Amino acid sequence: EPEVTQTPSHQVTQMGQEVILRCVPISNHLYFYWYRQILGQKVEFLVSFYNNEISEKSEIFDDQFSVERPDGSNFTLKIRSTKLEDSAMYFCASRGDSFWVFGSGTQLSVL
């Protein structure tokens, strides 16, 4: 069964450093998303991406965040200058003509 792949599974970084989280969506899907889940809290929408541009973003997705689909297969989330409160599980999701499929997530720890 096709799946969404995320790397790395764990990322530890120092506050102020840049991180890039990577995702390989399902190959024939057209819509891509990033969500995050702070420990013990709900899964929150960050951004949706279609046709090489952002479709919608939440209030969380400020200027420190950016997304890119550099090569037609990878979908990345960049956090320019990480803060302690960015520590969370980040999930990538993709969607074709059916339902949203999620990856296993990247656990980001900002120290």
Partner 1 sequence: QKEVEQDPGPLSVPEGAIVSLNCTYSNSAFQYFMWYRQYSRKGPELLMYTYSSGNKEDGRFTAQVDKSSKYISLFIRDSQPSDSATYLCARGANFGNEKLTFGTGTRLTIIP
Interface residues toward partner 1, by CB under 8 A: 4, 31, 33, 41-45, 48-50, 55-56, 89, 91, 93, 95, 99-105, 107
In angstroms, the CA 44 to CA 14 distance is 23
Residue (16 or 100) nearer to partner 1, CB = 100
Q: Given the complex with partner 1, which of 16 and 34 has the nearer CB atom?
A: 34
| Cα separation, 25 vs 5, whole angstroms | 7
Please tell me the distance from the alpha carbon of residue 21 to that of residue 7, in angstroms, as a whole number.
7
Closest distance to partner 1 from the beta carbon of 35 (Å): 8
Nearer to partner 1, 82 or 106 (CB): 106
Sole residue written with tokens 């550099």: 70
